[in-house]
Structure 1
């Protein structure tokens, strides 16, 4: 679920919080990092649960319409195409999801008004109308309507964003990643998908989980030495004028150069430039690239880049 870039972003956020709070309890902040990554998974489950609640609300509304005393012909025989959408039913009947939601206390029960708002937006969308108007659909059509509704109706909904922001502030930064992941899962879904299909592990493997912890600790514990590496490489900038986030990204990259022999230099540089473009100032990536380029040439000249295995690529 989490890529190395996402892990780097989470580490960056934790180092920023650690330095801004002038905290000295490294262990406490490391627990916060772990909790932050785990909460990201909770957001993923929350969005899956939202799709479940939308289907249930749709089913309930159809049932109520059929029971009307003066129900119309259409209400007595409603189109169940959306309610019976196999993608939604896969989630509704997902026992693993239901167990995880219960164990983690994730529920929309007290926030049903948000589900109603999003369901209403779905009903009013052309995507929904066009789907119901089709005489027949195949699994590809059924997937496409859920993808289109999520991309164009659900994810951009301001009330959903408001809910997420109020629920847990860190979720705001996690939302683009989780949205992308959920869409990727739906796009790759097949009719005979395994029961645990929608439940990828938070980390790809134990190495990625360890990478998060080590990058955080090694960057902080080697701060003084890494700071010395930066000094003198910024002739037009005093070190105290470097934006806090840029300084953290530089230190993390240098830490990877010196303390992570299996990570190629090019991978490190590319990752931090992309993170800088997204999270820092418009000129940050150019600034960071210039410093890292100087450092790499220096390390290569004095043979101080300790790279091995994949790190030599």
Structure 2
């Protein structure tokens, strides 16, 4: 949707250029995953440096000489640190955000150490895997993910990441919850390479190349609306949904409608989802009556 909108705004008609950017934004989701998961690695490194410096002070306290190392020896962070796959991925993709901008790690570390989560966790010195895992899940969910300064940094760093943050964070939380002591941590594929890339390319191209044909289906369904007054994002959403109806036989109608209503709620005007829902419902009935809607497989209508 954003790529089609960008193509409209540029008025260049350079479909190939916008398609390349679409694929670039899909691939950069993997970088966002690594940036987010590496916060945990960097928090451990920073705390280890702090504990080491504290123990070497001229006037050192008993606690500083023998600190509680439960956080830096957290077994889940240990698995992440020892993962060759993650290490190689971070190196290959040149993910060094927190080395350059370590002030964000300092901020997160301070918030963690000031939290009730940390206070409760550090009441003992023994590392228990399940307790360690729950602590990291809670820290990531309640402190790292909601942090507005971190969110602003991600937005400034790469604009395309904003829409991907919920997907990436959900995947990381899911991964952390499922981790076991014997787990070899690997970076997940956040889209299925060939299948998802082909779908993105086909939906983008089929919508762009058939815009006039797709628009004809809804123009006479909006008698109370001047077509020039319909929000441009709404017209793009309608065209993409109609394209899925007619040119993607394996996608269920209900899935298409639900997905595009969510997109409209997120990106367009407050009343857009109601407007789009009405148009799509009427079109589905018309397509079914005319046998235009040819879906393959059970339960796809």
What's the TM-score bracket when you normalise by the shorter of the two chains?
over 0.9
How far 1:223 moved relative to its partner? 0.3
- One of 235, 238, 253 as aligned partner of 1:250: 238
Q: Give the Å deviation of 1:173.
A: 2.3
* Cα distance in 2 for residues equivalent to 1:310 and 1:217: 27
Q: 1:267 — aligned with what? A: 255
Gap change, CA 1:106 and 1:287, over 3 Å in 2: same
Looking at structure 1, the residues matched to 122 and 264 of structure 2 have their Cα atoms a distance apart, in angstroms, of: 44
| TM-score scaled by length of structure 2 | 0.95
Range with bigger deviation, 284-293 or 199-208: 199-208
Give the secondary structure class of the aligned counterpart of 1:82: coil
Look up the match of 2:264. 276
For 2:139 and 2:195, the matched residues in 1 are separated by 36
Matched, 1:123 2:133: no
What is the aligned partner in structure 1 of residue 39 from structure 2?
50
Deviates more, 1:29-38 or 1:128-137: 128-137
Q: Which of 51, 60, 63 is the equivalent residue of 2:49?
A: 60
Distance in 1, Cα, partners of 2:156 & 2:262: 28
Alignment of 1:88-237 (within 5 A): 88-107=77-96, 108-134=98-124, 136=126, 138-193=128-183, 195=184, 197-204=185-192, 206-237=194-225
In the alignment, does 2:22 pair up with 1:33?
Answer: yes
User: In 2, Cα distance between the equivalents of 1:207 and 1:173?
Assistant: 21
CA distance, structure 2, for counterparts of residue 310 and residue 38 of structure 1: 33
Q: What are the ranges of 5 or more consecutive residues in structure 2 without an aligned counterpart?
A: none
TM-score using structure 1 length: 0.91
Aligned residue number for residue 9 of structure 1: none
Distance (whole Å) between structure 2 residues aligned to residue 208 and residue 168 of structure 1: 22
Residue 85 of structure 1 corresponds to: 74
282, 288, 298: which one aligns with 1:294: 282
Q: Residues of 1 paired with 2:247 and 2:156: CA distance?
A: 38
Q: Distance in 2 between matches of 1:203 and 1:177?
A: 11
Q: What stretches of structure 1 of length at least 5 have no aligned partner?
A: 1-11
List per-residue Cα deviations over 1:181-203 (Å, max 9, x = no partner): 2111111112211x2x3311232
> Residue 265 of structure 1 contacts residue 311 of structure 1 at CA under 8 Å; is this kept in 2?
no
Contact kept? 2:68, 2:125, Cα under 8 Å: no
Alignment: residue pair count: 300
Paired with 1:134 and 1:208, the residues of 2 have a C-alpha distance of 46
Contact 1:263 1:310 in 2 (8 A): no
Bigger mean CA offset, 98-107 vs 28-37: 98-107
What displacement does 1:300 show? 0.6
Q: Does 1:13 align with 2:2?
A: yes
Structure 1 residues 168 and 217, CA gap change in structure 2 (3 angstroms):
same
1:304 paired with 2:292, answer: yes
**Paired residues of 1:273 and 1:289 also in contact (CA < 8 A):** yes
In the other structure, the counterpart of 1:5 is none
